[in-house]
Each structure stands twice: as C-alpha cells, then as structure tokens.
Amino acid sequence: MDIRVENLFKEYDSREVLSDINLEIKRGEFVAVMGPSGSGKSTLLYNIGLLEPVTRGRILFDGQNAARLGDKEQSKIRLSKIGFIFQFYNLMPELNVKENILLPYWIGGKFENNKEKIDALLTELGIVEKKNEKINKLSGGERQRVAIARALFNESEVILADEPTGNLDSKSAFEIMEILKKLNTDKGKTIVLVTHDARMAAYAGRIVNLADGKIV
C-alpha cells in the first residue's frame, strides 16, 4: 500500500503540532522518523494510522483519502491493513499471549479458529512456548514480540512502530530491530518507525527528520 501525506496540519487546543507535512512512503519501504522530543513524531504516526483525526490535509492510501472516511471505514482499514507496535506494548496483563494477539479481532467480531496461524507466528518470533503465559510473566523483549505478532496477525501491509525499542535493553532492542528488518526485506512489509535512537534508525532505508512539527 502506497501512502501519501499531503499538506497535513494537526492542532491540539489551537496549538499547532504538525505544520504542512508532505511525505510519500512507497509500498515495501522502511522509513524511520526522527526528531527531538515534542517534534511531532508520534503525532504524525498516529495520524497516518488513523488513530487520531487530522486538522487539515490528506492521508492517501493507494490514492484514497482515508483521513476523510467515517469511523467505521477507518476501523476496517486499521484492522485489515495496518499493524501497530507501541513503546509500552499496549498489552492486557490479565490475558495470556494468545488472547492478547486475538483481542483486537474479537473486538472486531472475528472469532474463527486460528491456533495454527498463531503458533506459526510465535514460532517465527521465537516465543511459541510462551503462548499460554500471562503477559506479566514475560520480559520486555518477549512482550514486544507479542506486540509484533499481534501487528502481523491480520497480515497487515503496513507496520507502524512508535519507539518499539525505547523500553528495552540494548540486546533486546537490536533483536526487535532485526525482526522488523527481516519483515521488511523478506516479506515486503512497509514499516514506518518512530525513534530518537540513531542506531535503530540506521536499520531503515530512509530517514525523515522532524523539528517543531515540520520536516527538515
């Protein structure tokens, strides 16, 4: 899925957070978005992922302006085309690994038997033996692998990762980046990574720098 951001503005309480952003991300690209704290990196990612409404501008997925679709249509795009990975995992500690992967799809009304699919994903990510463990028994690196499995479960074309290594030790961080790189090179996933760490950004094929809500 090709992504184009055109003349994007985002305001919070009349304060401009993003200003006239124009960005094109081709299908299969790995793009890192860097910038200091408060530069608008995460806001841009959430706008692209249709998690927050834009103030003005367009977000085109294969030519369709998704920013102007209704909530129901945007939800369908998020469930079918976009996978999200967050710094603090956004997992439910009272659920086990398998249940956390399935939760977004249960919410979307999908209850088909997918044991084999989950096992294959967790095997690929090296944590299949943890599938029945509660989240609070996992390490940070294992939790992020669960988050990646959740992002991949819908066979999403695009993965949006917001500081996915920011809460990990260096060893786990590089392991997670190797997984993302492999998803990009071997499976053609489009990846947009927000990071403040130049070592993580180096895994991307292109780096976009933000400062004060603008691409510089």
- Domain limits, the chain: 3-215
Percent of the chain with pLDDT over 90: 85
Say what the pLDDT of residue 53 is: 96
**Sign of the C-alpha dihedral computed for residues 117, 122, 124 and 128 taken in this order:** negative
**For residues 186-203, average pLDDT:** 97
Residue 45's pLDDT band, with cuts at 50, 70 and 90, is very high
Residue 114's pLDDT band, with cuts at 50, 70 and 90, is confident
pLDDT above 90: residue 112 = no
The two structure tokens encoding residue 171: 């060893």
What would the 3-class secondary structure string for 87-130 be?
CCCCCCCCCEHHHHHHHHHHHCCCCCCCHHHHHHHHHHCCCHHH
Was domain 3-215 assigned CATH 3.40.50.2300?
A: no
Say what the pLDDT of residue 129 is: 96
Nearest Cα to 190, choosing from 201, 204, 169, 176?
204
Residue 191's pLDDT band, with cuts at 50, 70 and 90, is very high
Cβ atoms of residues 179 and 211 within 8 Å: no
The model carries a pTM of 0.93
Residue type, 156: S
The two structure tokens encoding residue 206: 């292109």
3-state DSSP call for residue 204?
coil
Say what the pLDDT of residue 181 is: 97
Residue 113's pLDDT band, with cuts at 50, 70 and 90, is low
CA 132 vs CA 75, 115, 128: distances in Å: 28, 12, 9
Burial-class residue 13 by CB neighbours within 10 Å (0-12, 13-18, 19+).
Answer: exposed
Say what the pLDDT of residue 47 is: 98
